[in-house]
């Protein structure tokens, strides 16, 4: 296994979560090198409380990327948390706090329609609230959750983020679903000196 990637102990719990979340309207998972946490989300408060709980669970910044996987209905403006809608601007401080607790190593994985739209959190002023974001550009089908198995399987097998993303992208291409991965560095505005 490559240094800096989550251990294999993460994979069975993560895959169980993904299988369980296939029919879930909203769910969160937090995965680091040795632990996997999950929270079912029935409303806005569950979502925000889950993000706070994940943040407080970080005893020290890990040496590996930490993955926050959100499964929910979504659109360009935010996600559905049970029967309530939560916009990206409302989520940003919670995601940013988790990223800070992770030492800037948070990878936000959005299993939702238009999930890559969460990148707007990085386009506003201040430092980006994640190291990278992975999400769909358009609508996705419920079966796409199964495609995340290959992504996390590659991660837990020691592959890097780019190889894992390529695996996810290949799986989703069969269903004409387009996923993107953007890093915080790619999203930072380019400042030119004149």
Residues 41-68 have pLDDT tens digits of 888 898 888 888 888 777 666 677 888 8
Q: Which of 16-20, 100-104, 126-130, 135-139 bottoms out in mean pLDDT, i.e. has the lowest?
A: 16-20
Does residue 175 belong to any structural domain of this protein?
A: yes
Does residue 153 belong to any structural domain of this protein?
A: yes
Strands ordered across the beta sheet of 78-81: 74-75, 78-81, 84-87
Q: Which of 43-52, 68-77, 84-93, 152-161 bottoms out in mean pLDDT, i.e. has the lowest?
A: 152-161
Q: CATH no. for residue 146?
A: 3.40.50
Question: pLDDT confidence of 71, banded at 50, 70, 90?
Answer: confident
Does residue 76 belong to any structural domain of this protein?
A: yes
Domain, as residue range, for 165? 10-186
For residues 167 and 121, give the distance between their C-alpha atoms in angstroms, rounded to a whole number: 26
Of 171, 148, 165, whose CA–CA distance to 11 is shortest?
Answer: 148
Total domains present in the chain: 1
Does residue 97 belong to any structural domain of this protein?
A: yes
Residue 98 contacts residue 91 (beta carbons within 8 Å):
no
Does residue 51 belong to any structural domain of this protein?
A: yes
Q: Which of 92-96, 114-118, 151-155 bottoms out in mean pLDDT, i.e. has the lowest?
A: 151-155
Does residue 2 belong to any structural domain of this protein?
A: no
Does residue 191 belong to any structural domain of this protein?
A: no
pLDDT of 107 higher than 60: yes
Q: Which of 21-35, 84-98, 121-135, 170-184 bottoms out in mean pLDDT, i.e. has the lowest?
A: 21-35
For residues 123 and 166, give the distance between their C-alpha atoms in angstroms, rounded to a whole number: 24
């Amino acid at each position: 296994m490559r240094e800096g990637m989550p251990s294999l102990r993460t994979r069975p719990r993560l895959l169980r979560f993904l299988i369980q979340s296939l029919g879930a309207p909203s769910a969160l998972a937090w995965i680091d090198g040795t632990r996997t946490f999950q929270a079912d989300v029935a409303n806005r408060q569950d979502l925000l409380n889950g993000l706070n709980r994940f943040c407080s669970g970080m005893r020290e910044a890990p040496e590996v990327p930490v993955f926050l996987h959100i499964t929910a209905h979504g659109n360009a403006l935010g996600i559905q948390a049970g029967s309530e809608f939560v916009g990206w601007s409302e989520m940003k401080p919670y995601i940013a706090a988790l990223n800070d607790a992770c030492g800037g190593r948070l990878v936000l994985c959005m299993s939702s329609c238009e999930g890559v739209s969460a990148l707007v959190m990085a386009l506003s002023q201040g430092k980006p609230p994640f190291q990278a974001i992975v999400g769909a550009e358009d609508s996705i089908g419920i079966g796409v959750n199964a495609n995340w198995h290959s992504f996390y399987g590659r991660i837990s097998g020691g592959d890097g983020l780019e190889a894992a993303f390529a695996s996810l992208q290949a799986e989703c291409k069969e269903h004409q679903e387009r996923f993107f991965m953007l890093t915080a560095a790619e999203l930072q505005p380019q400042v030119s000196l004149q």
